Amino acid sequence: MGIHNQPKRDLLSLFDLRDEEFTVLFQRATTLKRKLERHEPVHSLDGRTLAMLFEKSSTRTRVSFEAGMFQLGGKALFLSSRDIQLGRGEGVKDSARVLSRYVDGIMVRTFDHANVEIMAEYASVPVINGLTDTLHPCQVLADIFTFEEKRGSLKGKRVAWVGDGNNMANTWIQAAVRYGFHLTLACPLGYEPDGDILSAARKELAEREVDASLTLVRDPRQGVDRAHLVTTDVWTSMGQEGESDTRKAVFAAYQVDSGLMAAADAEALFMHCLPAHRGEEVTAAVLEGSQSVVWDEAENRLHVQKAILEFLMLGGVPAEA
């Protein structure tokens, strides 16, 4: 374990994927989803093991990765910071090197993005960012996949982000310039996306011939104007609980309700990475409405992540149909 014939690949951000690899992953995710629906067994990761390190609690990330490894014939190990020496002072570097001797891949869900970068630097097996305070690549890949299941290619379309400039907003920025679509982010003053990520994305956008753009606005109605996809997240993320009251006041005008959705394209979809706080960032009418695809979006974490696991652990997707 930890010994591979091809160079190790990690997925820490969407900039770790080449343009054509988005399509490769989505095609494989479609195949895996159809096989699961037909109860066709897949044994691509027989005998392989994934270590899942959790500093942040999770429903979708834990269950989708754990179930995904099982469905591919492998095994996933849930490791919270309370269960291993990493939570008692062992350095990330040392944990990375030790775990690489036992497992075939490491998924990390943590606060500080630097921790996944260090883990990837010192691990000899693939490292997957299951979420940090900076980026959430697996979720946005599943979101793009979901849109394309429902509406066809997202390339060149208009996507609206409404609310906090958090890890999801940062990842949508990377997706816009790497995959190619028009992203408008409606965020209140002082709650914009990460400046370094925005600068890097704009620099790449200027250097590439791609049908894409990045626009930052304050008015949520302007942000969703004619959008094909409207997406949002909670106003208060894990670790920000002490700011909850302040954030509710700041973001009150950024609630996605039926009136706001009416400003989007008539066929627009609504997405939310969940968990959702009905009555805060989104109304129950929108979350449960006909334009919402949040449950399909959540399910597709499983299928896309299975494709990611194969892609990284096997050095590419299997040749089988």
| Residues marked as catalytic | 109, 136, 139, 233, 273, 301
Nearest to 66 by CA among 52, 79, 47: 52
134 among the known binding-site residues?
A: no
Entry field: residues in the chain? 321
Ligand-binding site membership of 136 (annotated)? yes
94 carries a ligand binding annotation: no
58 is in an annotated binding site: yes
CA distance 161 to 237: 16
Give the separation between CA 52 and CA 319, rounded to whole angstroms. 27
Whether residue 300 is annotated as binding a ligand: the answer is no
DSSP of 260-304, one letter per residue?
HHTTS-TT-EEEE-S---BTTTB-HHHHTSTTB-HHHHHHHHHHH
Query: Has 109 been labeled as part of a binding site?
Result: yes
What single-letter DSSP state applies at residue 44?
T
139 has binding-site annotation: yes
Tell me whether residue 237 is annotated as binding: yes
Of 166, 175, 95, the closest CA to residue 133 belongs to: 166
Residue 272 — φ and ψ, nearest 5°?
A: -150, 135
**273 labelled as ligand-binding?**
yes
Binding-site residues for L-ornithine sit at 167, 233, 237-238
Binding-site residues for carbamoyl phosphate sit at 58-61, 85, 109, 136-139, 273-274, 301
Binding-site residues sit at 58-61, 85, 109, 136-139, 167, 233, 237-238, 273-274, 301
